[in-house]
Every structure is written in C-alpha cells, then in structure tokens.
Structure 1
C-alpha cells in the first residue's frame, strides 16, 4: 500500500461546514474525487489534487529552505475528523493558502533541489526510500511541486481553503 498526499479545495462556506461536520466533509470530498475521476480537469480547474508519493520528499525539501507554510501536512487539524488513511485531515484556511501560493510563486522548483540528490533523500530515509536508493531523478518531485503550486494558486485566486491528508 502506498502513501499518497491528497488535497481538496473548499470554499470558505464548505470549510465552515467541514469544521462543524467532519463526516459531511469526508462524504463531500469523496464525491468531488469521484466526479473528477472521470473528467481529469486541468490542475488549475480541479477541486482535488494528489502529489502521489512525493509528499515526504516535498516536505523534506521545503523544510530545508524554510518554507513558511506546511503545504504537505496542512496546519490545522479538522476537529473531530476520523482517520482518512494515515490520520485525520488537516487544512489551510484561505489566508494560509494565499500565503502558500505567494511563497510558491517566489520559490522556483530548481531552488528545492540545489545541493540535494537522490542519495541525500535515501540517507534521510525519505519515503519511498527504494526510489532514491535506485538513484531516480528528483524531476519526479519537482514536477509534482509545480503542479501543486498551480493547484494552490488557483485555490488562492478563488479564496478557497484546502484540506490535506495522506491516504
């Protein structure tokens, strides 16, 4: 079983409802994922997004550069939410999504990997270690970083919040 980083955009009203009713949030997000599964909208138009297995590497690389928003794990736990895979979901409110989008715009993907190679990720035990032990390119991570930046920019432009969880 893989650990996948997942995201869902919520309007401020949807976030308020999710905070009051986390069971509704799970059902709502499942419906969003199902609806988009057939259409695969472009990242800026999507309500849901995943970064596959790059979540741990992105977290490691962003921490190295002192990124100001926890876009990998979220910053606030959704109160009363059950486990959505590997723990309950967390979220970024609209203001934090905006801050993240601005910081991402100021941080080119090349900045993430300056002075870092696959061996460094393997040595640090970054999931999935076997990928880095094989010496795979960090392009896999930077391409997901760029897509996540586009997703969060669209969320910020719409004034949305974002739910974050590992599944």
Structure 2
C-alpha cells in the first residue's frame, strides 16, 4: 500500500461543515474524487489534487527552503480521532492557502532541488526511498508544478484546503 498526499479545495462554508462533521467531509471528498476521476481535470481546474508518492520528497525540499506554510500535512487539526489513511486530516484556512500560493509561485522547482544530492534524501529516509540516481530528483517536478497551480486557483477563489495522507 502506498502513502499518497491528498488535497481538497473547500469553501468557507464547506470547511465549517467539515470541521463539525468529519464523516460528512469524508463522504464529500469521495463524491468529488469520483466525479473528477471521470474527467481528469487539470490541477488548476480541479477541487481534488494528489501529490501521489512525492509528498515526502516535497516535504523534505520545502522544509529545507524554510517554506512558510505546511502544505504537505496542513496546519490545523480536525477530526483528531479519525484516521483517513495515515493519520487524521488537517486543514489550511484561506489566508494560509493564499500565503502558500504566493510562496509556491515564488519558489521554482529548480530552486528547491538546487544543490541537493539524492543521497541526502536517502539518508533522511524520504519516502518512498530509491534516491540513488541524480535524475530521481526530477520525479517531483510535475507534482510540484501541479500543486502550485492547485494552490493558486484555491487562493484566487479564497478557498480553504483539507489535507491528508491516504
């Protein structure tokens, strides 16, 4: 079984409802995922986005760059007694989404990987391992670009973000 980074853009009202009813949130997520799986939307047009298995690589790279928002795990817990795969879900309020979008836009993937030796990821036991080749750093580029587009759209429409590992 793989660990996958997951995101759902939600309105302020949907965020309030998710906080009050985590079961509703999980059902809502499944509805959105099912609907979007049929259409394969671009990250900028989607409500659901996944960083696939690159979540830990991106976490490592963003932490190294002192990124101002925890876009990988979210910042505020809700449903702490729930386990949505690998722990409880968290969220980002719209103002944190906006800050994250600005920082993602200002930080290119080339900047993130500049000076990184893949052996550093191996030493840090970054999931999913297998960082022996210099080219392995390129694996995260399309996911980072998609995450940037996804956050930019969320910020533009003032959405919050549900974040979890599945």
Place the TM-score, normalised by the shorter chain, in its bin.
over 0.9
Is 1:141 aligned with 2:136?
no
Q: Which residue of 2 aligns with 1:99?
A: 99
TM alignment of 1:14-29, pairs within 5 A: 14-29=14-29
Distance 2:136 2:2 in 1: 19
Q: Is the 8 A contact 1:4 1:55 kept in 2?
A: yes
Q: Which residue of 2 aligns with 1:162?
A: 161
Runs of 5+ in structure 2 lacking a partner? none
Q: Which residue of 2 aligns with 1:76?
A: 76
Deviation at 1:126, TM superposition (A): 0.5
User: Could you give the per-residue CA deviations for residues 42-92 of structure 1, whole angstroms, max 9, x where no partner exists?
Assistant: 111100000011111111110111000000000001245510000111110
Q: TM-score with structure 1 length normalisation? A: 0.95
Q: Which residue of 1 aligns with 2:13?
A: 13
Q: Is the 8 A contact 1:22 1:80 kept in 2?
A: no
SS of residue matched to 1:132: coil
Q: Which residue of 1 aligns with 2:42?
A: 42
Q: Is the 8 A contact 2:80 2:89 kept in 1?
A: no
Runs of 5+ in structure 1 lacking a partner? none
Q: RMSD between aligned alpha carbons? A: 1.2
Q: Which residue of 2 aligns with 1:85?
A: 85
Deviation at 1:134, TM superposition (A): 5.1
Number of corresponding residues: 166
Distance 1:94 1:141 in 2: 25
Q: Is the 8 A contact 1:89 1:164 kept in 2?
A: yes
Distance 1:49 1:60 in 2: 19
Distance 2:132 2:88 in 1: 30
SS of residue matched to 2:54: helix
Distance 2:4 2:135 in 1: 18
